[in-house]
Structure 1
Amino acid sequence: MKATTLLGLLPLVRPSLGREEAADYIIVGAGTAGLVLANRLSEDPSVTVTVIEPGADERNNINVTGTDKFSLAFNTHIDWQYSTVNQPRANNRSLPLHQGKAWGGTSTINGMTYIRGNKLEFDLWSHLGNPGWTWSTLLPYFIKSENYTLPTPSQLDAGATYQPQNHGFSGPLHVGYPAALHNGSFAPLILGAWDDMSASLAHNADLNSGDVHGFGMGPQTLDGREDVRYDSARAYYHPVEHRGNLRIVRGTVRRILWGDGGGKGGRELLRANGVEFVTDQGAVQRMRVGKEVIVSAGGVRSPLVLEASGIGNRRILESLGIETLVDLPGVGENLGGQSAHIIVFSGEMEASASAYHTHVTAAELFGANLESVRNATRESIPRWAKDMARGSRNALSPEALEKQFRLQYDLIFKHNVTPAEVITVSAPGGIMVSNYYAILPFSRGSVHLGGLDQIDKPVIDPGVFSADFDIAATTAIGRMAQRFWLSDHIRPLVTAQLVPDASALPENATDAQWLAHLRQSLDMAAHPRGSAAMMSRELGGVVDPELRVYGTANVRVVDASVIPMPISGHMSAAVYAVAEKAADIIKQNSKGQ
């Protein structure tokens, strides 16, 4: 028998783990979600919790702790530095995808923005086979996780606003505004310019109310009084690291190990009895589990752990020489992400320590073209579903994708949920920036293992611009961002358009010029989700409403990979709430066992 075949059979081994170390709960990954679970599950002193994480404790890394250091950690040792496969609709370029490799995961390197999203986007989850998952059921967990710091009078004058009923004030996660934010000329200019952009655009008093429409200053995951980033480690692990029943072990989990299947409801389910991981020194070790294995390795890595363990699309696993234990074609599919774009001007605007977020409806985005875009989108859905199903090698059915797309269409065109966002920043040195996004893209992609024991080398295909709507929405929001800086309120302060320069993208650029620019400049936002989606199995789901992997008795996935549909918020806020709710589900299940 070939060596590769022997390796592929490893998930089938029923090892006698003997005196090897054990824990009641093994959490794969000390990222944003993993450390929430570690904290909450270890509140019970009668259970033991071990987190296995390849990254290190970075609490003294200034690129993590500094509230003004965003992007400085990119391409350093705490960034996985992933790359996608070449993207045909991005001039056949491979795109970088930054994901955190540290205690705290991507919450250590993200932009710290704390915006939850629209109510209806979360309510949609229940229509995908997830009873009990709605805005109203998640809101208590948003509030439970949050420790909101009220803006100071100076910060209020600088543009920070809030509604206290939408916030928590005693959770682990500090949310607030940078210490450097103070009253100045930035807020009145921004407010006036956005107010002039559209008669229906208005200032949003609290972007975390469940309605993000309009413009407002977004809070961040930081403690303004200490001027320090609050990542998941600082919020959830450092305060409880003294617990004797909780620890982090340095290592990379390669696969879940299985024991005898357990009968449940008359069905034979796989039961995990441990994990296999590789230490920093390269040694292969095993750890036994008493209760559950919880995979919290993130939107990129969690599906890889499942595939390496024999759970996934049979055809993909067979091509890798891995024996299929649960044929679950949705693993690694349904990958959603957001393409990121930027336009930069030079000028004389005062720098601001925070940013304004503007979320617009389809009517505001497309204006006089709304009806034609709406009709084209509706008519294109069957074609997109067929094309993306084919792209998934028929792991997802056209019917399943079409159902998801029609629900998303209704959100955008019938319920006026916001499909686009502009982030407006004035940086030191007279640099004036807009980041703009189509935040509810229809495009779907995939992430899979590239080979046996290659969990650190995922094959990532986000499928950018697979749907025409995403190009139309990105073009329209880019035009709006450019128009903002050239509006009557701001234009007198502008000296030049820097990125791209005005010759490449003039003020009245054509659709063709915009398309050429977008394809050449497109980058990836660090928001991968959906690759182990919480949906019915028929729709291509990987986990059930209790976040348990279909076909298993004691394996769950809890992180951004379970979020089934795009949201208008920034991913970390939703991940914290999902993990808080998951912890309660797990505790309740444990009581019933």
Structure 2
Amino acid sequence: MTAAPTTESSSPETFDYIVVGGGTAGLVVASRLSEDPEVTILVIEAGQDNTNDPLVLTPGLLPALFGNDKYDWDFHSTPQPTLHNRTIPRGGGKMLGGSSALNLMLVAWPGRGSIDAWGALGNNGWTYDSFEPYLRKFARTHEPADAAREVARVKDGQYDPSVSEAESGPIQLSFGSGYNTTNTAWADAFANLGLKMSSDPRKGTAVGAFQSPASIDPATKTRSYAASGYLTPEIRDRSNLVVMTETLVSRIIFDTSGQAEPVATGVKIRTKDGSERAINARTEVIMAAGALQTPQILELSGIGDKSLLEKHGISVIVDNPNVGEHLQDHPSVLISFEVADGVPSADIFRDPSLLQGAIAQYQETREGPMGQSVLTCAYAPLVDREGSLSAEARKTLFDEHLPASAPTNQSNTAVAARHAEHELLRSLLTKPDEPGVQYILYPTQAIIAPHPKSLGELMIPREPENFVSVQCVLNYPFSRGSCHIASPDVADKPVWDPNYNAEAADLEILARGLRFVETLVRTQPFAGLLREGGKRVPDMRADDLEGAREIVRQYQVSEQHPTSSCAMLPRELGGVVDSRLRVYGVRGLRVVDASVFPLEQLGNIQTTVYAVAERAADFIKQDRKGA
């Protein structure tokens, strides 16, 4: 049985480490630190403990989580000028396990070039080779069955057993048993377009279609996520680990008396009943509230842009205008295509009797579609209607749609740093084997309403026909957004402005990616899945570039991967944390979540978040020993 959340009355008031946020990263760090019985750790989570909730644990019930205050922060962006002023919804896990309890369980890995780019931006010690051990430390991939190898084409070098032998982590990754003709047709169509995967995507190099595993425990057919993996009953029973749920951290407390730098000494909390009190940290406060709420809490604590803090009456501890800036996200577009008779589609579960039957089957036997994920992926270099762009075409695209000249004022370090980032990303994306675009196949309709109330609306079938959907995702956005406090009250959600397509190159790359979808759906055997003359939603074509651009403007959404709002960079180049994830200008404060990414990573980011947190735990342990 899961241990009950610790109550106020039983919580000691001083800990060695306080972890703010019991999500994907926070639970990794807390669990690893608690391996040392000599230190005490407190985890403070704003959401509930839903670790026994069947809606969280059952893969097929995922759509019910979004938009529900019990599970989801349900963020909404500011109106986006390049998207016809649409407001974009974004889910965020509001519970133990954070967004690992709310994501689609699709597993993808970062690329060698993109992690090496972190180091190239001035982060000493960050290379793919130094990072790779942590990608092996968080997970354990279970070998695909023979049927999965054949039907989903998990063969021809796509699965290297030696990588699995190096894995030792608590997050269970598995290939399901429900793969079908759609998975086969997807892989074979990409191969026919010259994009056949010939390497294991876990090894840092991947171009082509591949069957990604899901974060599902194959023994129980339940979601494997941070709370189930890093906060098992045995770990919860450790006397040095306390978990407090339904509690907000309103600010970090600093000692500014006689110190060269302010020292984080604890946090002020607000419990469910509205009462407030302080809890002390002897060694460190560790921020793990995510890319939208970590900068929010830093600003509420006096770390941020001086003018913004003073506007809200907040005393300035560190004037750093980079807090909440540099935010990145994966923009994406989904197009749904009606399938031919007999082609599998999860849209059949709009029939309540079929849905209840599938749920009953899962509850009784753990078999059937409710315990599986059959999503499948592909990575492509920069593409257009005709396929991969030539070197000349890539150069032309960037020359036309990216600022090409060096900054006129070299003393303006912010401008110089932005230009260096542009050049690094441009260099990365001009490589013919670097995935600029990700494609995901959904066995259902995924239809974007003009003004959705929550992300869940994407996942509820509204059309009477049966569909599959192709999602086109921009892996490396050039645009940078922001996230800042709306008020001095932590209960007010921060203002999230992803600033999509502020750099014209993003719109152009995504539009060309949609043009490639038009080629994909006319390529066998994938074309054979679709009903001839069948419906598509939206009923727009990406045959010409302007048509593709308009699809982006009307239907682009977030892929739910915000990062980089407290970026790990040299401070003079826009950084908030150093290469050991310590916040500039203070002592005893560290950030360990996706907000520290210097650059967005390709594909779904849960693997990178887990690995960064694993490395952060090692940093913290090393720094304690060296103290």
Hey, what does 2:178 align to over in structure 1?
Answer: 181
Q: What is the identity, as a one-letter code, of the residue corresponding to 1:175? A: L
Q: What is the identity, as a one-letter code, of the residue corresponding to 2:94? A: K
Hey, what does 2:126 align to over in structure 1?
Answer: 133
Would you say the 8 A contact 1:262–1:553 is kept in 2?
no
Residues 73/385 of structure 1: CA separation in 2 closer, same or farther (3 Å cut): farther
Would you say the 8 A contact 1:333–1:396 is kept in 2?
no
Would you say the 8 A contact 1:335–1:530 is kept in 2?
yes
Q: Deviations over 1:148-181 (max 9, x none)?
A: 1111222222223411222344311111123x42
Q: Deviations over 1:329-384 (max 9, x none)?
A: 21000000011211111113235941221111126776467634423424654379
Q: What is the identity, as a one-letter code, of the residue corresponding to 1:284? A: E
Which residue, 223, 234, 253 being the options, matches 2:249?
Answer: 253
Q: What is the identity, as a one-letter code, of the residue corresponding to 1:181? A: G
Q: What is the identity, as a one-letter code, of the residue corresponding to 1:247? A: V
Summarize the alignment of residues 193-208 of structure 1 with structure 2, pairs less than 5 Å apart.
193-197=189-193, 199=194, 201-208=195-202
Hey, what does 1:163 align to over in structure 2?
Answer: 160
Which residue, 283, 296, 299 being the options, matches 2:288?
Answer: 296
Hey, what does 1:3 align to over in structure 2?
Answer: none
Which residue, 224, 227, 245 being the options, matches 1:233?
Answer: 227
Percent identity for Structure 1 against Structure 2:
32
SS at match of 1:80: coil
- Separation (CA, whole Å) in 2 of partners of 1:255 and 1:384: 42
Q: CA deviation at 1:498?
A: 3.7
Which residue, 398, 403, 406 being the options, matches 2:420?
Answer: 403
Q: CA deviation at 1:592?
A: 1.1
- Structure 1 unaligned spans of 5+: 1-18
Would you say the 8 A contact 1:384–1:467 is kept in 2?
no
SS at match of 1:526: coil
Q: What is the identity, as a one-letter code, of the residue corresponding to 1:103? A: L
Would you say the 8 A contact 1:71–1:109 is kept in 2?
no
SS at match of 1:69: helix
Hey, what does 2:357 align to over in structure 1?
Answer: none
Q: Deviations over 1:395-453 (max 9, x none)?
A: 98221111111111100114642110111233498421111111111011000001111
Would you say the 8 A contact 2:378–2:439 is kept in 1?
yes
Task: State the Cα RMSD in Å.
Answer: 2.5
SS at match of 1:269: coil
Which residue, 494, 500, 506 being the options, matches 2:537?
Answer: 500
2:380 corresponds to 1:360: yes
Hey, what does 2:92 align to over in structure 1?
Answer: 99
Would you say the 8 A contact 2:44–2:248 is kept in 1?
yes
Hey, what does 2:396 align to over in structure 1?
Answer: 375
Summarize the alignment of residues 469-484 of structure 1 with structure 2, pairs less than 5 Å apart.
469-484=505-520
| Greater Cα offset, 449-458 or 46-55 | 449-458
Hey, what does 1:547 align to over in structure 2?
Answer: 581
Q: CA deviation at 1:189?
A: 2.1
Count of residue correspondences:
559
Which residue, 214, 238, 244 being the options, matches 1:243?
Answer: 238
- Separation (CA, whole Å) in 2 of partners of 1:144 and 1:444: 31
Hey, what does 1:24 align to over in structure 2?
Answer: 16
SS at match of 1:535: coil
Q: CA deviation at 1:275?
A: 0.4
Q: CA deviation at 1:456?
A: 3.6
**TM-score, normalised by the number of residues in structure 2:** 0.85
Q: What is the identity, as a one-letter code, of the residue corresponding to 1:362? A: L
- Separation (CA, whole Å) in 2 of partners of 1:435 and 1:125: 27
Residues 83/427 of structure 1: CA separation in 2 closer, same or farther (3 Å cut): closer
Would you say the 8 A contact 1:261–1:271 is kept in 2?
no
Hey, what does 2:624 align to over in structure 1?
Answer: 590
Q: What is the identity, as a one-letter code, of the residue corresponding to 1:546? A: R
Residues 171/288 of structure 1: CA separation in 2 closer, same or farther (3 Å cut): same
Residues 494/414 of structure 1: CA separation in 2 closer, same or farther (3 Å cut): closer
Would you say the 8 A contact 1:193–1:488 is kept in 2?
yes
Would you say the 8 A contact 1:384–1:466 is kept in 2?
no
- Separation (CA, whole Å) in 2 of partners of 1:150 and 1:554: 42
SS at match of 2:377: strand
2:468 corresponds to 1:432: yes
Would you say the 8 A contact 2:270–2:277 is kept in 1?
yes
Q: What is the identity, as a one-letter code, of the residue corresponding to 1:171? A: G
Residues 26/497 of structure 1: CA separation in 2 closer, same or farther (3 Å cut): farther
SS at match of 1:71: helix
- Separation (CA, whole Å) in 1 of partners of 2:16 and 2:523: 60
Hey, what does 1:466 align to over in structure 2?
Answer: 502
Residues 289/536 of structure 1: CA separation in 2 closer, same or farther (3 Å cut): same
Q: What is the identity, as a one-letter code, of the residue corresponding to 1:412? A: L
Would you say the 8 A contact 2:300–2:490 is kept in 1?
no
Q: Deviations over 1:237-289 (max 9, x none)?
A: 124111111111121101100114676xxxx2210111001101111111011
Q: CA deviation at 1:491?
A: 2.7
Which residue, 446, 451, 461 being the options, matches 2:482?
Answer: 446
Residues 279/408 of structure 1: CA separation in 2 closer, same or farther (3 Å cut): same
Summarize the alignment of residues 261-300 of structure 1 with structure 2, pairs less than 5 Å apart.
268-300=260-292
Hey, what does 1:14 align to over in structure 2?
Answer: none
SS at match of 2:201: coil
Q: Deviations over 1:89-146 (max 9, x none)?
A: 0111111111110000001111112211210100111112211111111111111111
Q: What is the identity, as a one-letter code, of the residue corresponding to 1:83? A: H
Q: What is the identity, as a one-letter code, of the residue corresponding to 1:354? A: V
Residues 20/386 of structure 1: CA separation in 2 closer, same or farther (3 Å cut): farther
Hey, what does 1:190 align to over in structure 2?
Answer: 186
- Separation (CA, whole Å) in 2 of partners of 1:533 and 1:548: 11
Would you say the 8 A contact 2:62–2:102 is kept in 1?
yes
Residues 309/249 of structure 1: CA separation in 2 closer, same or farther (3 Å cut): same
Q: CA deviation at 1:478?
A: 1.4
- Separation (CA, whole Å) in 2 of partners of 1:450 and 1:377: 36
Q: What is the identity, as a one-letter code, of the residue corresponding to 2:105? A: M
Hey, what does 1:526 align to over in structure 2?
Answer: 560
Q: What is the identity, as a one-letter code, of the residue corresponding to 2:544? A: T
SS at match of 1:68: helix
Q: What is the identity, as a one-letter code, of the residue corresponding to 1:252? A: L
Hey, what does 1:39 align to over in structure 2?
Answer: 31
Hey, what does 2:6 align to over in structure 1?
Answer: none
2:147 corresponds to 1:154: yes
2:84 corresponds to 1:48: no
- Structure 2 unaligned spans of 5+: 1-10, 347-372, 446-464
Hey, what does 1:332 align to over in structure 2?
Answer: 324
2:569 corresponds to 1:535: yes
- Separation (CA, whole Å) in 2 of partners of 1:559 and 1:501: 35
Residues 422/368 of structure 1: CA separation in 2 closer, same or farther (3 Å cut): closer
Residues 26/147 of structure 1: CA separation in 2 closer, same or farther (3 Å cut): same
